[in-house]
């Protein structure tokens, strides 16, 4: 008999062991698969945790968007209803616009001091002022200090005597203050007018 001869019973045992190992491997694999399926259905397995995290993040972000935009909508709704400071500002602007304002106050004709000789004397010329004011009911003039010289209209003029006292060659100076008076207050402006003092010549017949 040859040494490589193997009884049929030994070959049958090896085949049975191999088949048994294959069946056990398949059973284990099937058990693992079933276990994963049960865990997924129960929501406790790792696969389920990953599935829950993925949709939960966008859903929470969607839920937060309305709460974040809600305050902005409320502020946008309330903003036009709370303008106390803005309402006070136009009132003060209108008050300033309707208050008295002096558009013009100037010398229309310059004064001239008297001149000539002791025999022939030439009288000087008065000063003529003119003005225009807005937002006022009337105007007043003061000459060389406080006090009202006369009352005038809002667009008016005045011709005033211009005294020329002082040394010949010097200057005579007078100040004029215009005040515009209205319901919303007053507005004043002062100008100074000067004229040269003329020398009076003395003739030999005096």
Parse the chain into domains and list their residue ranges: 100-201
What is the structure's pLDDT at 88? 37
Highest mean pLDDT among 4-13, 16-25, 188-197: 188-197
Please tell me the predicted confidence (pLDDT) of residue 7.
58
Percent of the chain with pLDDT over 90: 41
Of 100, 124, 126, 122, the C-alpha closest to 113 is 124
Whole-number pLDDT of residue 173? 96
pLDDT for 105 equals 98
CATH superfamily to which 100-201 belongs: SoxY domain (2.60.40.2470)
Collapsing DSSP to helix, strand or coil, 186 comes out as strand
Do the strands 150-152 and 138-143 form a parallel or antiparallel pair, or are they unpaired?
A: antiparallel
Strand ranges for the chain from DSSP E: 101-109, 115-117, 121-122, 127-134, 138-143, 150-152, 155-160, 171-182, 185-196, 200-201
pLDDT in tens, 57-84: 444 444 444 444 444 444 444 544 554 4
Give the alpha-carbon dihedral of 96, 102, 103, 108, to 10 degrees: 180
Give the least confident one: 115-124, 126-135, 167-176, 187-196.
Answer: 115-124
Lowest mean pLDDT among 1-10, 46-55, 72-81, 161-170: 46-55
């Amino acid at each position: 008999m040859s040494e490589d001869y193997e009884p049929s019973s030994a070959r049958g045992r090896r085949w049975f062991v191999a088949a048994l190992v294959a069946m056990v491997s398949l059973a284990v694999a099937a058990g693992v698969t079933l276990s994963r399926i049960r865990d997924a259905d129960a929501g406790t397995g790792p696969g389920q945790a990953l599935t829950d995290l993925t949709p939960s993040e966008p859903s929470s972000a969607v839920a937060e968007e309305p709460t974040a935009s809600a305050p902005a909508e409320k502020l946008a709704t309330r903003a036009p209803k709370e303008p106390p400071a803005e309402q006070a500002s136009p009132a003060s602007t209108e008050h300033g616009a309707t208050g008295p304002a002096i558009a013009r106050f100037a010398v229309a004709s310059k004064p001239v001091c008297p001149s000539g000789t002791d025999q022939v004397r030439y009288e000087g010329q008065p000063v003529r002022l003119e003005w225009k004011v807005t937002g006022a009911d009337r105007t007043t003039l003061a000459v060389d200090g406080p006090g009202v010289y006369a009352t005038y209209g809002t667009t008016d003029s005045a011709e005033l005597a211009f005294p020329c006292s002082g040394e010949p060659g010097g200057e005579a100076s007078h100040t004029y203050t215009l005040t515009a008076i209205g319901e919303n207050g007053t507005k004043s402006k002062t100008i100074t007018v000067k004229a040269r003092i003329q020398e009076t010549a003395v003739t030999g017949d005096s």
